[in-house]
Amino acid sequence: MNKTLKELQEELKSKKTSVKELVNSYIEVIKSNADINATLGFYSDKLINEQIKKAEELFANGKDTALTGIPIVIKDNIMVKGEKATAASKILENFTATYDATVIKKLKEAGAVMIARANMDEFAMGGSTENSAFGVVKNPHDKSRVAGGSSGGSAAVVSYGGAPISLGSDTGGSIRQPASLCGVVGLKTTYGGVSRYGVMAMGSSLDQIGPFGNSVEDVENVYNIISGYDNLDSTSLTKEERIKEQESGIKKKIGIPRKFIEREGVDKEVLKNFNETIEKLKADGYEIIDVDIKDVEKALSVYYVVVCAEVSSNMARYDGIRYGLSVPDVNVIKGYFKTKTEGFGGEVRRRILLGTYVLSSGYYDAYYNKANLVREMLKKEFAKVFQDVDVIATPTSPIPAFKIGEKSQDPLAMYLADIFTVPVNIVGVPAISVPSGKTDSGLPLGIQFIAPHNREDILFTYGKEVEKI
């Protein structure tokens, strides 16, 4: 059984274990699970020792936080000063971060100990970690299956006990889906709630950083430390903006978009488990309401237009000139092309091409502008539904962990697996995935709760309720 933050804090405070011993014990677990391929390397001894020292000081001065002395694994698209950050891409294979992301700054101040870099889909594009330039992440529950993605490494490492918590990023489901497939808790925060400064941009209007953990309470503790206004992120929400939305209480009403959920392609065991979980909540006094979120299924198409457009723009900076891989040629333009074709994997190139297409003159209105119109419409639809319910519930993923290689040759099938997670990013609201049981063959399943903007508090309440039942 993986230990929670509270249990670890008790061990540290009672001096049953020292911070160093605790950190080393997790490093050993990571080493002995190398075949899962969840991590791409350890952080330098210098950083680890500095943070151990910082944690000891915080304990000595009585200034310790929920994360003091706690080992944490970081998705490899988040910058930690002086350490490698590759986004699991060949193009950044030898890149060293020159500054700390805001979330890292906050973790450092809280006395957390960053121990290892998590494997991921290249630049967070994918849902299985098969797009990593450094090999797929295996699911700890069945090594012939994927751990999900794009934050597959962050989910797997918590699942097998290599770290009590980790950070990931979620642009269209990349925290929630792997959390569900690996049987851990994963939180996608409100857009603007956690600073994006220092995370490598994929789809800038969708990206959010969030935590993985063994319990809802653990994830809540990390959220409390990493969230908050940051003037280095122009989309960051101020405290006033966040509080304004937290005025209403909890109604104990759950909205279920039945038509949306009971669709072709949703696994029978997933549905059964979802319905059983909802029934238990009902027995616990929660009111279940069928809701119709008009056109919610269109979120998937909107997502793949918007994300590709933003990807094509964000990837332009990897030109082999300022940083990253550079494949020179006497002809500058040829060198530029060589850098990109040797540096980027197939999925990244596919999205750059699709994105450039939807942004090209003549198609801009037909695709990109239309997608943004539908996006605005969906925001209003969600707001309407949230007038009557606290949360909208869905299965996190329509299918349990699939076999490695099963979908890697079929990008559309892979994209369809994002059906329940992408609407959340399109609308910018928070959502959590909480383990809700297992399939007959022992694969983890997860339930997703979606709350209005800045209502992570509701997600924690509901998540803890699921843990109880």
Q: Which of 111, 140, 164, 173 binds ligand GLN (CB under 6 A)?
A: 173
For residue 150, state whether it binds ligand GLN (rule: CB under 6 A). yes
Rg (CA), the chain: 21
Contact yes or no for 324/306 (Cβ under 8 A): no
Pairing assessment for the beta strands 71-75 and 113-118 based on DSSP bridges: parallel
**Contacts to ligand GLN from residues 305-344, by CB under 6 A:** 307
Q: Does 174 bind ligand GLN (CB under 6 A)?
A: yes
User: 146 pairs with which residues across the strands?
Assistant: 138
Q: Which of residues 199-218 bind ligand GLN (CB under 6 A)?
A: 202
Confirm whether 403 is a catalytic residue: no
Does 64 participate in binding ligand GLN (rule CB under 6 A)? no
Q: State how far the Cα of 188 lies from the Cα of 169, in Å rounded to an integer.
A: 8
What helix, strand, coil percent values describe the chain, rounded to 5?
45, 15, 40
- H or E segment at 278? helix 268-283
Identify the active-site residue in 128, 150, 166, 195. 150
Residue 39 or 174: the one with the smaller Cβ distance to ligand GLN is 174
Stretch that binds ligand GLN, among 19-27, 132-140, 170-178, 454-462 (CB under 6 A): 170-178
Shortest separation between residue 412's beta carbon and ligand GLN, angstroms: 12
Number of residues lying near ligand GLN (CB under 6 A): 13
C-alpha pair distances (Å), 446 with each of 151, 287, 395: 16, 20, 6
- Where does this chain touch ligand GLN (CB under 6 A) — which range of 157-165, 172-180, 380-388, 399-407? 172-180
Q: Does 136 bind ligand GLN (CB under 6 A)?
A: no
Site string for ligand GLN, 272-311 (x = CB under 6 A): -----------------------------------x----
Per CB under 6 A, contacts with ligand GLN among 348-407 are none
174 counts as catalytic: yes
Q: Which residue, 39, 291, 68, is CA-closest to 166?
A: 39
Residues whose CB falls within 8 Å of the CB of residue 114, separated by 6 or more in sequence, listed in order: 43, 47, 48, 51, 72, 73, 74, 80, 104, 107, 108
Q: Kindly identify the residues of this chain, within the stretch 415-434, that bind ligand GLN according to CB under 6 A.
A: 418
User: How many of the other CB atoms lie within 10 Å of CB of 245?
Assistant: 13
Q: Which residues bind ligand GLN (CB under 6 A)?
A: 124-127, 150, 170-174, 202, 307, 418
Catalytic residues: 75, 150, 174
